[in-house]
């Protein structure tokens, strides 16, 4: 049985896809992955129609979980129709900044029991830059929660934000945001590579404020390679790039054809992991044949 990287539990679905569905975004976060930030709103803006994508997933003949991230998924043309179509036979999960006016329509048309998780990123600097009120975010959050969706707020622990982290989390709590996870920044800031680069003092702040996110410790402790270990990624789980190319996972570029043009063929046998450094730890800890012990039991849904 597949262990889900979204729920960190045995899954009700047979295959799991991590789909970068669009390069459109109304934010331009400083800490966005550089390879994504560089192409946002510039390249590959001709997404396939929702009907085609739904058909491709149905053609697989197995129940799938489709994690959608970008960019901002709600900016995918026809996003709510896409979600309605996918949830007829499959499950979905969404990483969003929750700014879209379509959130209400989504909550009316998409069945909550087919949505494994909605991760709603706060991205305070971008929100402030664009005059977007946090109480609007909180309203959308409560709206989804009250409609029965499993929604959790996400705060990225970018080093320059650590000084305001406590105040921001307190504000979210006051606004009724009851599930929060704060997760480590992955990248380079002022010449220091993170997540290994946090100081001991910063690590203490992070551990104290991680909320429901329990992968910060293994990230900061340097659990960043499983090279040579057998992994089910490529057989039961996949990464779909914005071009439709299907890869083994977020960290390994082995290709299994193109999802959009119907040439996707999964591998039939588990292979050894070739990655020297992993990008999304939750995928490895779910998909490895023999994952290491991690003192945690919460969810993860990395970007």
Task: Please say which residue, 208 or 289, places its beta carbon nearer to ligand SF4.
Answer: 289
Q: Provide, rounded to whole angstroms, the least separation between the CB of residue 15 and ligand SF4.
A: 14
User: Could you tell me which residues are beta bridge partners of residue 16?
Assistant: 65, 237
Contacts of 179 (CB under 8 A, 6+ apart): 151, 152, 153, 211, 212
Contacts of 196 (CB under 8 A, 6+ apart): 220, 222, 224
Q: Site map for ligand SF4, 272-291, x if CB under 6 A?
A: -x-x--x----xx--xx---
Q: What is the C-alpha to C-alpha distance for residues 204 and 235, in angstroms, rounded to an integer? A: 38
- Would you count residue 247 as binding ligand SF4 (CB under 6 A)? no
- Would you count residue 252 as binding ligand SF4 (CB under 6 A)? yes
- Would you count residue 248 as binding ligand SF4 (CB under 6 A)? yes
Q: Provide, rounded to whole angstroms, the least separation between the CB of residue 273 and ligand SF4.
A: 3
Q: Provide, rounded to whole angstroms, the least separation between the CB of residue 252 and ligand SF4.
A: 5
Q: Which stretch binds ligand SF4 (CB under 6 A): 19-27, 105-113, 181-189, 246-254?
A: 246-254
Pairing of strands 245-247, 237-240: antiparallel
Q: Are 93 and 68 in contact (CB under 8 A)?
A: yes
Length of the chain: 303
- Would you count residue 251 as binding ligand SF4 (CB under 6 A)? yes
* Residues numbered 56-115 forming contacts with ligand SF4, rule: CB under 6 A: none
Task: Please say which residue, 67 or 231, places its beta carbon nearer to ligand SF4.
Answer: 231
Q: Provide, rounded to whole angstroms, the least separation between the CB of residue 134 and ligand SF4.
A: 34
CA-based angle 47:53:57, to the nearest 5?
Answer: 150
Task: Please say which residue, 42 or 277, places its beta carbon nearer to ligand SF4.
Answer: 277
Q: What is the C-alpha to C-alpha distance for residues 229 and 206, in angstroms, rounded to an integer? A: 30
Q: Provide, rounded to whole angstroms, the least separation between the CB of residue 231 and ligand SF4.
A: 3
Q: Which stretch binds ligand SF4 (CB under 6 A): 32-40, 81-89, 161-169, 271-279?
A: 271-279
Task: Please say which residue, 3 or 23, places its beta carbon nearer to ligand SF4.
Answer: 3
Task: Please say which residue, 142 or 267, places its beta carbon nearer to ligand SF4.
Answer: 267
DSSP-derived 3-state class of residue 271? strand
- Would you count residue 186 as binding ligand SF4 (CB under 6 A)? no
Cβ atoms < 10 Å from Cβ of 172: 22
Q: Is 231 left (phi over 0), alpha (psi -120 to 50) or beta?
A: beta
Task: Please say which residue, 68 or 249, places its beta carbon nearer to ligand SF4.
Answer: 249
* Residues numbered 222-241 forming contacts with ligand SF4, rule: CB under 6 A: 226, 231, 233
Q: Is 149 exposed, middle or buried (0-12, 13-18, 19+ CB in 10 A)?
A: buried
The count of chain residues that interact with ligand SF4, using the rule CB under 6 A, is: 14
Q: Is 170 exposed, middle or buried (0-12, 13-18, 19+ CB in 10 A)?
A: exposed
**Where do contacts with ligand SF4 occur on this chain (CB under 6 A)?**
226, 231, 233, 248-249, 251-252, 273, 275, 278, 283-284, 287-288
């Amino acid at each position: 049985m597949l262990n889900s990287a979204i729920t960190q539990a045995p899954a009700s679905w047979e295959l799991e896809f991590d789909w970068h569905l669009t390069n459109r975004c109304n934010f331009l976060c400083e800490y966005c992955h550089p390879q994504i930030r560089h192409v946002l709103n510039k390249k590959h803006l001709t997404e396939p129609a929702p009907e085609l994508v739904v058909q491709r997933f149905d053609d697989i003949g197995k129940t799938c979980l489709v994690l959608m991230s970008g960019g901002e998924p709600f900016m995918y043309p026809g996003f709510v129709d896409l979600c309605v179509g996918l949830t007829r036979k499959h499950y979905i999960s969404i990483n969003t900044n929750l700014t879209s006016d379509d959130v209400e329509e989504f909550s009316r048309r998409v069945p909550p029991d087919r949505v494994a998780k909605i991760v709603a990123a706060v991205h305070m600097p971008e929100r402030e830059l664009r005059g977007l009120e946090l109480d609007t975010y909180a309203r959308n959050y409560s709206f989804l929660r009250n409609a029965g969706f499993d929604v959790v707020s996400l705060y990225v622990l970018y080093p320059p934000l650590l000084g305001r982290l406590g105040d921001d989390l307190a504000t979210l709590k006051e606004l009724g945001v009851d599930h929060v996870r704060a997760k480590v920044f992955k990248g380079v800031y002022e010449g220091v590579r993170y997540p290994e680069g946090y100081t001991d003092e910063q690590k203490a702040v992070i551990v104290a404020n991680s909320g429901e996110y329990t992968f910060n410790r293994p990230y900061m402790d340097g659990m960043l390679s499983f090279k040579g270990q057998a992994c089910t990624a490529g057989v039961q789980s996949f990464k779909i790039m914005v071009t439709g190319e299907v890869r083994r996972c977020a960290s390994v570029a082995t290709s299994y054809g193109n999802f959009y043009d119907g040439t996707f063929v999964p591998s039939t046998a588990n292979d050894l992991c070739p990655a020297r450094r992993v990008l999304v730890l939750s995928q490895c800890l779910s998909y490895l044949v023999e994952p290491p012990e991690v003192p945690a039991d919460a969810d993860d849904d990395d970007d």
